[in-house]
Structure 1
Amino acid sequence: MALEQDLVRVRIPREPFETPTELLDRAARGGLPISQARRPAQLFAEARYSSRPVTDGQREQAERSLAAVRRQWARQRPAAPASPPGGEGA
């Protein structure tokens, strides 16, 4: 998932046990603004787990949402990597 790759670049890798929502919550605790990231994560989950095909409109919406998230994250980086619950720093 593109959001996961972007989070790795800002030193917040996804743990094997984390759902996309848990990863975004941890990024928020680390100081990264995630309000705009919820929609592309939701679209990804729909595309991955639904039996319905992804429409062109959904794909375009996901691309626009991801671009907005990247612009937002480029302006504000977390101060330090966030630790997962039960991990370092917990």
Structure 2
Amino acid sequence: MRTASDLLLNAALVLLVIAGALLLVRVGRGPSMLDRAVSVDVAAVLIIAGIGVHAAMTYTRYYLSIMLVLSFLGFTSSVAIARFIALRDRPRTKERP
């Protein structure tokens, strides 16, 4: 049974590397700031997934707390970027005299 799990974990690792390569293409070609912000958020998810695959391959639980902290930081950065873009793109109202 260990061979099947090793095969699946290696397949997951290969898919994560392919997704990372496609992500770099998207970051480079992203036409807007929002596309690049979403790409950075996906990069955080890919890093967390890669750590999870590594933890499963080495049979360690020590990486789970690191994954939790990184997921919190990824969520916080996504909210901060969304607020920054929303404030920047807000239409300006004319002031009344």
TM-score tier (shorter): 0.3 to 0.5
TM-score (norm 1): 0.43
Q: Which has the larger radius of gyration?
A: 2
Higher RCO (CA 8 Å, separation ≥ 6 residues):
1
TM-score (norm 2): 0.41
Q: Which has the higher helix share?
A: 2
